[in-house]
Amino acid sequence: NAGVTQTPKFRILKIGQSMTLQCTQDMNHNYMYWYRQDPGMGLKLIYYSVGAGITDKGEVPNGYNVSRSTTEDFPLRLELAAPSQTSVYFCASSSGTVYGYTFGSGTRLTVV
C-alpha cells in the first residue's frame, strides 16, 4: 500500500526550463492537492482537484499548471522555471477533507 508517491525526490532546474512533478495515489481518493513549502514556512496551496477532469486554483497558482485525467494521477507542470519557484513541493490526497490528508514525501526543487 504505497499511499501517495511523488517523483522525482530532488531536481535542479535552470531558469526558463520546464518540468513536470508526478504524483500518484493508490487509495482511490477523489481529492488531490499540490502544496509548496518554503523554508521555515507553512504549506501554501497551489492547485487542487475534486475528481478526474476537475481542477481549481489555490492560493499561489501563478507559474504552474495541473491536469487530472485519472483518479490516481495529478501531475504539476512548471513552465519557464524561476528562482522564486525554489521550494519543496508536496502532493496530497483525501477521500474528503473530514478524513484528513495523506501527503507524499515531497519533491525538493531548486531553480538556478
Stretch that binds another protein, among 16-24, 62-70, 77-85, 100-108 (CB under 8 A): 100-108
Going from the C-alpha of 104 to that of each of 20, 22, 95, the distances in angstroms are 16, 11, 15
What character string, x for contact with another protein (CB under 8 A) and - otherwise, covers 69-98?
---------------------x-x---xxx
The smaller minimum CB distance to another protein, of residues 61 and 75, is found at 61
What character string, x for contact with another protein (CB under 8 A) and - otherwise, covers 8-47?
-----------------------x-x-x----xxxxxx--
69-78 burial by CB neighbour count: b if 16+ within 10 A, else e? Answer: eebbebbbeb
DSSP code at position 27: S
- DSSP-assigned beta bridge partners for residue 109: 11, 87
Query: For the chain, give me the number of helices (H) and strands (E)?
Result: 0, 11
**Residues binding another protein: what is the number (CB under 8 A)?**
27
- Binding stretches for another protein (CB under 8 A): 4, 31, 33, 35, 40-45, 48, 56, 58-59, 90, 92, 96-106
